[in-house]
Amino acid sequence: MLETSLPIRHDWTSAEILDLLHQPLLPLVYRAQTIHRHYNPDADIQLATLLSVKTGGCPENCAYCPQSAHHETAVQPQPTQTVADVVAAAQRAKALGATRFCMGWAWREIREGKAFEDMLTMVREVRALGLEACVTAGMLTDTQAERLAAAGLTAYNHNLDTSPEYYNQIITTRTYGERLKTLDCVRRAGITVCCGGIIGMGESWGDRARLLEILATLNPHPESVPINALVAVAGTPLEAQPPVDPLDLVRICATARILMPTSRIRLSAGRTQLSREAQVLCFLAGVNSIFYGDTLLTTPNPDRNADRQLLDDIGAIY
Ligand code: SAM
Ligand code: DTB
Ligand code: SF4
């Protein structure tokens, strides 16, 4: 039977996923593209713009993150951005063609108070512009998730980052279980889930398969799956990690597309290290979103004009 006529699966095993990851590249990409075109016939590429609302000084010790207070990096803690500044940034992003606006807070968890009330206002204002709104701000409670849902939040980003087995090599200030619990709160509140990981932190192919297994056995699948290539930032414990082989990234994107046919697969951090051709291969493998704008949260992203040129050169719908 044609794979595209089978129901979407939530029972993938890591052995099956490893087998996919190890397929010859071209048949793997062909299979991913076939599934992609069946489930997402427009194959449009969503442009999402990121803004760091609260930068640096984070109490968590994520080994990859330039914003952790545990690492000495060039990122200095900044005052939290005001509602007016955030709304102005969202207006600019919209005028430049983004349809989703993602706001980040370098927090372990959301706390009650003015900062949270401001976050709710930012969400309402971004939605009022007709943009999708996404927030990433660490752990949250059921009540906070419900309030974000009531403000109109489209998605909450909370990444699992890597496999449960490799997790404590990367972060020790929180557990994988806490991450999953937060995702559950988000889901229960009716907010869509944005959850993915980072490739290139020294993890094995087995770890990559396990991360994909956890994502692909969530039911429903996360609506949005960011695939980040590590940005090795000076001063972080992972500063000396070698860059990911772009073809490995293509394999991971293709496998994510096969496992989660209707999710937006987002080629996220690390695009400055990728050639145009490598990015096009990722699109062929089923990637259908990128971060659009000159910075991610604190690190560079490709130039806006270069991204538009690339999308125009391949005739992409965006
Ligand atoms: N503090 C919140 C949290 O960790 O959930 C939200 C902000 S945090 C910066 C959002 C995500 O950015 C992380 O989960 C991680 O996947 C990604 N990220 C952070 N630093 C990165 C880096 N150097 N390279 C690639 N991805 C990174
Ligand atoms: C995601 O998975 N990647 C984005 C977004 N979600 C919040 C963040 C990437 C951050 C890269 C490092 C930085 O710029 O600080
Ligand atoms: Fe803090 Fe998030 Fe960075 Fe971890 S990834 S240090 S939780 S901002």
Tokens 């087998």 locate to 19
Q: How far is the CA of 298 from the centre of ligand 2 (A)?
A: 8
Q: How far is the CA of 5 from the centre of ligand 3 (A)?
A: 40
296 lines ligand 2 (CB under 6 A): yes
CB 239 within 8 Å of CB 305: no
Average pLDDT score over the chain: 97
Residues 14-42, buried b or exposed e (16+ Cβ, 10 A)? beebbebbebeeeebbebbbbbbeebbee
In terms of pTM, does the model score above 0.95? yes
Specify whether domain 11-313 bears CATH 3.20.20.70: yes
63 lines ligand 1 (CB under 6 A): no
CA-angle at 212, arms to 142 and 154, nearest 5°: 40
Task: Please say if the pLDDT value at position 206 is more than 80.
Answer: yes
- The backbone torsions φ and ψ at residue 164, rounded to the nearest 5 degrees and listed phi first, read -60, -35
List the domain boundaries for the chain: 11-313
Tokens 């806006």 locate to 304
49 lines ligand 2 (CB under 6 A): no
Per residue in 123-168, pLDDT (tens digit) is 999 999 999 999 999 999 999 999 999 999 999 999 999 999 999 9
The band of 7, judged by pLDDT with boundaries at 50, 70 and 90, is confident
Give the mean model confidence (pLDDT) for residues 34-45. 96
165's enclosing H/E stretch is none
Candidate list 102, 195, 253, 282, residue with the active-site label: 102
